[in-house]
Amino acid sequence: MSILQKLVLASGSPRRIELLQQAGIEPDRVLPADVDETPLRAEHPRSLAKRLSKEKAEKALASLSTEDDYAPGFVLAADTVVAVGRRILPKAETLDDASNCLGLLSGRSHRVYSGICLITPGGKLRQRLVETRVRFKRLPRDEINAYVASGEWRGKAGGYAVQGLAGSFVVKLVGSYTNVVGLPLYETVALLNGEGFKVHASWASARP
């Protein structure tokens, strides 16, 4: 693979890795970039998603530049934010986080925003923002408790994983499904292709 075709994913999310692999993209390196994800005062959810994806990409690039064997490639980062109106829901880390999120989402519509940031080998920074609208059914307390007991919510924005048990909560979804999983594939592939990363180059070798 040429230097320019190298891809660094600035995320350790198994979901994002799996989604890239689904599109035939195998990152050359996974380099999680931890940043402070605390929203700024009065920050809109969409602005937060864009800002954090940019900060993650830039932090990963800075980390790479200190390595002796660093060679320019593409750096891809993403951040997903779940919000009810302007209220940003946390990435659930505790039982109370998950229970509170699900209680808030019960019977209501919410929005899932993903910011994507790509830094090219030439240093250009490109961003996209993707929005999906999701409506949940009304969740009885025993169903919330059962889902919380499953542990699927841990580390998930909004306290749920749509690709798992929580898929049964969804009454309506408008927009990108993969965005809700954690990485909007259409927009990510379009961004990579548009900047010269040959996404389809390995497709022929992936035939069963």
Residues designated as active site = 79
In this structure, the dihedral spanned by the alpha carbons of residues 15, 187, 10 and 122, taken in order and rounded to 10 degrees, is: 160
* Helix (H/G/I), strand (E/B), else coil: 111: strand
Six-digit token pair at 110? 């919410």
**E strand or H helix at 99:** helix 95-105
Give residue 162's Cα distance to chain centre: 13
Using DSSP's 3-state secondary structure scheme, residue 75 falls into: strand
Tokens found for residue 4: 């320019």
The burial class, CB within 10 Å (0-12 / 13-18 / 19+), for 14 is exposed
